[in-house]
Amino acid sequence: MQKIHVSLGKRSYPITIASGLFQDPTAFLPLKMGNKAMLVTNQTLAPIYLDVIKDSLKQLKIEVDQIILPDGEQYKTLSVMEQVFTALLKKSHGRDTTLIALGGGVIGDLTGFAASCYQRGVRFIQVPTTLLSQVDSSVGGKTAVNHLLGKNMIGTFYQPMSVVIDINCLKTLPARELSSGLAEVIKYGIIVDSAFFIWLEEHLDELLSVDANAMEYCIRRCCEIKTKIISLDETEQGIRALLNLGHTYGHAIEVEMGYGNWLHGEAVAAGIIMASQTAYRFGQLNNQDVSRIKKLIARAGLPVTGPKNMTPESYLPHLMRDKKVLSGELRLILPTAIGQSEIRMGLDHKQIISAIADCCY
């Protein structure tokens, strides 16, 4: 069992990583005997994991209610989140309740946002079931729902009380979802850890076959990197923005194509290529590093070009609505070498569009 401590003063919490955690009541020990909880999951995961986790919680004498939401990025909305509030109120949950987010990034983000709002804030636990959520979205306290005009535009920074990562979940993960998670994994190597990028080049096949030892190391390393960055910049005033490599472009794809048509990791993968190509055009990144990034992303089963029915010009309105835009100035996260990245602003929009065009076909 691996334990990582997220150090945020009074908002600190543990990340627990192991196989078989859902059958281990001690994994949920931040909860105490007599506590009340609302377990939030989706229609796909409920038949697989709901009863197992409820049994573990009942061994701790936790009173558990549940709500099962529809599955998919298109349901990450305010109207679906209201269903969580309705369930909490109907079951008379008060400020002493705990929400448990059992699912991937959609469930985790939506449940965390609901927890931050319900009765002005209640506790919640992240129980991520996808690789993407285990290495990224469950850690760090970003919560949100989508808007038709922008991804994750309505949300809060609100930390969980713990994160429980059961690696066994990945055994039932579809191959496309596994690849989607690898986009976020590769991101960490590019932005701050060249040694981890090299490790990924050497061990990607093991990750694709869900080798337990390789996957445990991979998840732990990603969580360590993100935890360190979050401890320095919890609310993304500076260095935390580096974690958004590829996301500005990727969110444009998700919104333009319709939520759920491209998985988040697929869009981010194409976005990482666009960011790399942008960096190359501005003389920040050499062609050899661009090629290594593109090769690793392709090996992971991820797209290295954007959607064929999106023109390069169609990206710009979405880029200008990005949360990193300040005073009307676009800021992009660009790699300067494998293992190094920076926040750049003041870039010529025509050059950015040209770089996107390089990645369109």
pLDDT digits (tens, 9 = 90+) for 138-155: 999 999 999 999 999 999
The pLDDT confidence band at residue 30, using thresholds 50, 70 and 90, is confident
* Residues across the chain: 361
Indicate the number of domains in the chain.
Answer: 2
Final residue before a domain boundary, out of 172, 201, 219? 172
Active site positions, annotated: 120, 142, 184, 226, 236, 240, 244, 247, 251, 264
CA–CA separation, 54 and 344 (whole Å): 47
Q: With pLDDT > 70 as the criterion, what percentage of the chain qualifies?
A: 100
CA–CA separation, 327 and 349 (whole Å): 16
59 and 157 assigned to the same domain: yes
317 and 339 assigned to the same domain: yes
Q: Which of 200, 202, 204 is nearest to 191 (CA)?
A: 200
CATH number at residue 192: 1.20.1090.10
Final residue before a domain boundary, out of 133, 151, 172? 172
163 and 282 assigned to the same domain: no
Whether the predicted pLDDT of 361 surpasses 70? no
pLDDT digits (tens, 9 = 90+) for 286-342: 999 999 999 999 999 999 999 999 999 999 999 999 888 887 889 999 999 999 999
150 and 276 assigned to the same domain: no
58 and 40 assigned to the same domain: yes
Structure tokens at 216: 């445990």
Measured CA to CA in angstroms, residue 326 lies from 9, 150, 153, 312 at distances of 29, 16, 15, 22
For residue 284, the one-letter residue type is: Q
116 and 68 assigned to the same domain: yes
Q: Half-sphere exposure of residue 71, counting CA atoms within 13 Å on the CB side?
A: 11
**H helices within the chain, ranges in order?**
51-59, 78-90, 105-117, 131-132, 175-192, 194-208, 212-232, 247-257, 264-281, 287-299, 315-319, 349-358
Model pLDDT, residue 335: 98
248 and 214 assigned to the same domain: yes
Neighbour-count burial of 144, counting CB atoms closer than 10 A to its CB (0-12 exposed, 13-18 middle, 19+ buried): buried
189 and 149 assigned to the same domain: no
184 and 168 assigned to the same domain: no
The SS3 assignment for 262 reads: strand
DSSP state of 19: S
116 and 224 assigned to the same domain: no
Q: Are 29 and 37 in contact (CB under 8 A)?
A: no
210 and 339 assigned to the same domain: yes
Final residue before a domain boundary, out of 172, 187, 202? 172
Structure tokens at 267: 């869009």
pLDDT digits (tens, 9 = 90+) for 102-142: 999 999 999 999 999 999 999 999 999 999 999 999 999 99
Model pLDDT, residue 326: 82
pLDDT digits (tens, 9 = 90+) for 163-182: 999 999 999 999 999 999 99
* DSSP per-residue codes, 296-333: HHHHTT--SS--TTS-GGGHHHHHTTSTT-BTTB-EEE
CA–CA separation, 227 and 219 (whole Å): 12
328 and 354 assigned to the same domain: yes
Q: Are 337 and 289 in contact (CB under 8 A)?
A: yes
Model pLDDT, residue 325: 84
CA–CA separation, 50 and 40 (whole Å): 9
| DSSP count for the chain of H helices, then E strands | 12, 11
Q: Across all residues in the chain, what is the average pLDDT?
A: 96
Query: What is the residue range of 304's domain?
Result: 175-358
What average pLDDT does this structure show over 218-233?
Answer: 97
Model pLDDT, residue 65: 97
Q: Which of 180, 179, 344, 176 is nearest to 248 (CA)?
A: 344
Q: Which of 136, 140, 162 is nearest to 221 (CA)?
A: 136
CATH number at residue 138: 3.40.50.1970
